[in-house]
Structure 1
Amino acid sequence: MRLNMQFAIAAFLALTVIISSCDTFKDEMTPGSYSETVKYIDGNWQLATVFRNGIDITEYMDFSAFHIILKKDNTYEIKNYLPFIVKNKGKWSVDDPQFPFHLVFEEEGMNKEVKTEIGFSTVDGKRRLTIKLSPGCHTNTYVYTFKQVIE
């Protein structure tokens, strides 16, 4: 009986030490103080992959010569044109600098904006810009994925 009592006391003391030694995680920043950083999508973007209606057609043509250069002053130019939603240089903007879901083009000489859905990600440490578009025939949907060219 005495052995059972000693075991119970030892177990109680061990449990007390274990519980009292744990310190709860205390976050000194409140969740409201976190903010998403601005996504800078300006740069030289080279076309890397092309999907048409969900099928990868990248291997059928050399798309790599096509570039969109989004300048810091919010102007753009296109090098080695392929079917795209704009043809000539102009101005660009995003719908939200922290969470960009749409890229807006204002082509020189046109009186309307062209808005397209985008994805902005980092893959293997390299930035990617994905643009969904339907140039010409509305039944064909393209997804152009660009990689950023660091100069």
Structure 2
Amino acid sequence: MNLKIQITIYIFILLGLVTACDTFKDEITPDSTTYAEVPKSLDGIWQLKTVSRNGTDITHAMDFSRFLLHLNKDNTYTMENYLPFLVKKNGKWKIDDPIFPFFLVFKQEGTDEEAKTEISYPIVKGKRRITLSFSPGCVGNSYVYSFEKIEK
């Protein structure tokens, strides 16, 4: 008799488990435009925040913050307080992909050559940054410049 009671209890538990499970039905079908990635806005004034040379942080060696990179909406750029950089003169800029940029390309005035650098686009302490890696002239030296956008 005891065995029949145990079997009956197991059957009720099994039925409870089976009927308690409901298949998940998503009542909201995501629209592909709802979750679309927006184009990255690189235009603006970018102030140099951190600098590393050959893997060593040299940010505190001098006042790098005076170097400003102006990326204008018309795809021209200008620089203030020049430091070693990919280009020496003002000119035009472009990115390889407006939604997922991997490369930033500079073209100086008066030349047909393009200077291309890898770009990352992180948010640091709530502020958008762009990070550029390059070797200006001497292949023995590599720099990583991290810029923060100046909000007006």
3-state DSSP class of the match of 2:131? strand
Name the structure 1 match of 2:12: 10
Tell me the distance in 2 between the aligned counterparts of 1:9 and 1:32: 48
Tell me the distance in 2 between the aligned counterparts of 1:35 and 1:52: 37
Percent identity, aligned pairs only, is 48
Structure 2 unaligned runs (5+)? none
**Greater mean deviation of Cα atoms: 7-16 or 68-77:** 7-16
Tell me the distance in 1 between the aligned counterparts of 2:117 and 2:7: 75
Tell me the distance in 2 between the aligned counterparts of 1:39 and 1:129: 11
Tell me the distance in 2 between the aligned counterparts of 1:141 and 1:37: 31
Residue 125 (str. 1) matches residue 140 (str. 2): no
Normalised TM-score (structure 2): 0.87
**Greater mean deviation of Cα atoms: 30-39 or 1-10:** 30-39
**Greater mean deviation of Cα atoms: 11-20 or 24-33:** 24-33
Tell me the distance in 2 between the aligned counterparts of 1:64 and 1:124: 17
Alpha-carbon deviations, 1:14-59, whole Å to 9, x = none?
1123223x52557723779954321111111100000100010111
**Greater mean deviation of Cα atoms: 73-82 or 34-43:** 34-43
Structure 1 unaligned runs (5+)? none
Superposition RMSD on alpha carbons, in Å?
2.2
3-state DSSP class of the match of 1:14? helix
Tell me the distance in 2 between the aligned counterparts of 1:18 and 1:48: 57
Tell me the distance in 1 between the aligned counterparts of 2:55 and 2:26: 46
Normalised TM-score (structure 1): 0.88
